[in-house]
Amino acid sequence: MHRNKDLYQFLLEKTRQLTEEWYKNLEKGDNAGIYSSNDPAIIESVKQQNYEFHQKFCEVFNKDEESFFNDFEKWIVKVAQDEGHLSTPLQSILREFFTTQEQYLNLIDEFTETNKGQFDCSQVTTWRRIVVKSFSEVVTWFTEEYNNHSQKRLEAQQDLIRELSSPVISLTQDIALLPLVGDIDTARAKSMLENTLQQCNKLGVNQLFMDLSGVVMIDTMVAHQLFQLIEALSLIGVKTTISGLRPEIAQTAVQLGLSFDHVSIKSTLSSSIKSASLIPG
C-alpha cells in the first residue's frame, strides 16, 4: 500500500518550495521556448503551472490511482495545448519532468530520514516505485497530447498557407482575380481547386481572372488539374479568363489535348481586366 497521509501532508507543504527551487535551478540559457522567457507574465504562468502540477502530484499518496489520474487530465491537456509549451522542444519539456521526478525521490529520502525507524525499506521502495510509475504515465500522456495538438496546429497552418497561396481577390461585386505565383505541385493544385470553388461560390463570382504570369512551369498532372478547375468553375456559372500563359505551359496543355472551350485567353492581366471594361481601354 503506497498511500500515506503523513507523506502526503509532508509533500503538500513543500509544493511552493518545490516550484521556487525548480525555477531557480532551471538552466534558462540552455532552454529554447517558454523556459528561456524573460517576460514576467510568462515566468509567473510557468511557475503557476508547475505549482499546480505539484498540488496534483502529491495526491498520488492520498487518492486511489483512478481518481489521481482523472484529476490530472485537465492539467495535462491545458499545458500540452499551451502555445508557450508548443513552441518549446519536447525534449526540453521532458527534461524538466524528469528533473521534477528527482525532486520527489529526494523528498521521499528526506521524509524517511526525518522519520527514521518508522518505515522499513520495503515501504520506502514502494513509494519510490509509485513516483517513477506515475511520472512515466503522466509523461506518456502529456507527450501524446502534445504531439496530437502539434499535429493539429501544423495541419491548420498548412491549410492557411495553401489558402493564402491561391487567394481569390474580389475586384467588383461579381468579378474576382486569382493570381498564381511560384511552383504549383499536385497537392497545391488540389487545394487550389477546392479553395477557389468555395471562395467563388461564397463571393458570388461569375467571372474569374486567373493570372499565371508568376508560374514558370507546371507538370502534366498539375496542368490537367488546372483545367479541371476551369471546368468545375464553368459548372457553377463562373467564366474564366486566363492570362500570362507561358509557352511551356501552353505546349503542355496542347499535348494533353485539354479543351479551351470554357476559357478566354489573354496575353496579360491588364488586357483581361480591360476586356471586362473595369478600366478604360
Q: Where are the alpha helices (DSSP H) in the chain?
A: 5-12, 15-25, 40-57, 65-80, 83-86, 90-114, 121-164, 186-203, 220-235, 247-256, 269-275
DSSP states of 80-109 as a string?
Answer: HT-HHHHTS-HHHHHHHHHHHHHHHHHHHH
Which positions ≥6 away from 11 have C-beta within 8 Å?
54, 58, 61, 104, 107, 111
Tell me how crowded residue 7 is: count the other CB atoms within 10 A of its CB. 22
Distance, in Å, from the CA atom of 223 to the CA atom of 249, rounded to the nearest integer, reads: 8
Query: Can you give the pLDDT at residue 31?
Result: 58
| DSSP secondary structure letter of residue 264 | E
Scanning the structure block, which residue is given the C-alpha cell 498540488? 55
**What does the H/E/C string look like for 114-157?**
HCCCCCCHHHHHHHHHHHHHHHHHHHHHHHHHHHHHHHHHHHHH
Scanning the structure block, which residue is given the C-alpha cell 532552454? 31
Query: Can you give the pLDDT at residue 19?
Result: 95
What pTM, to 2 d.p., does this model score?
Answer: 0.62
Query: Can you give the pLDDT at residue 262?
Result: 66
Residues 112, 48, 129: CA angle, nearest 5 degrees = 30
Average pLDDT per run of 10 along the chain, which is 281 residues long?
89 95 82 83 94 95 90 90 88 92 96 90 94 94 90 75 71 89 77 86 91 79 82 91 82 75 81 67 46
What domains can be seen in the chain, in order of their start residue? 5-163 (1.10.490.10), 169-275 (3.30.750.24)
